[in-house]
Amino acid sequence: MTEKQEKILQSALQLFAREGYHATSTSKVAKAANVSEGLIFRHFKNKEGLMHAILDEGERRFKSLFADIVLETDPKEVIRKTITITNKIDKKEYDFWKLQFKLKWELEIDADKKMDPLKMALTNAFSKLSYEFPEREAQLLLLFIDGLSTAVLKGSELNDREMVGFLLKKYDL
Own/partner long-range contacts of 28-32 (Cβ < 8 Å, ≥24 apart): none
Question: CA quadruple 11, 12, 18, 22: dihedral positive or negative?
Answer: positive
Q: Kindly state the smallest distance separating residue 21's Cβ from its own copies, in Å.
A: 8
Residue 39 binds which one of its own copies, DNA, none, with CB within 5 to 8 A depending on kind? Answer: DNA
- From CA 125, how far away is CA 117, in angstroms rounded? 12
State which residue, 36 or 159, has the beta carbon closest to DNA: 36
Give the nearer residue to its own copies in terms of CB position, either 42 or 136: 136
| Binding-site partner at residue 172 among its own copies, DNA, none, CB < 5 to 8 Å by type | none
DSSP 87: G
C-beta of 144: minimal distance to its own copies in Å? 6
Listed residue (165, 154, 120) closest to 139, CA to CA: 120
Nearer of residues 52 and 161 to DNA, judged by Cβ? 52
Cβ(47)–Cβ(23) under 8 Å?
Answer: no
- What's the CA gap between 14 and 9, in Å, rounded? 9
Q: Which is nearer to DNA, 40 or 78 (CB)?
A: 40
Whether residue 127 contacts residue 137, with contact meaning beta carbons closer than 8 Å, is answered with no
Residues near its own copies, by CB under 8 A: 20, 22-23, 101-102, 104-106, 108, 110-112, 133, 136, 139-140, 142-148, 150-151, 154, 156-158, 162-163, 166-167
| Partner touching 133 among DNA, its own copies, none, CB below 5 to 8 Å by kind | its own copies
163 binds, among DNA, its own copies, none (CB under 5 to 8 A by kind): its own copies
Cα distances (angstroms) measured from residue 25 to each of 22, 50, 74, 94, 149:
7, 12, 48, 21, 28
Q: Interface residues with DNA (CB under 7 A)?
A: 2-5, 24-28, 34-39, 41-43, 46-48
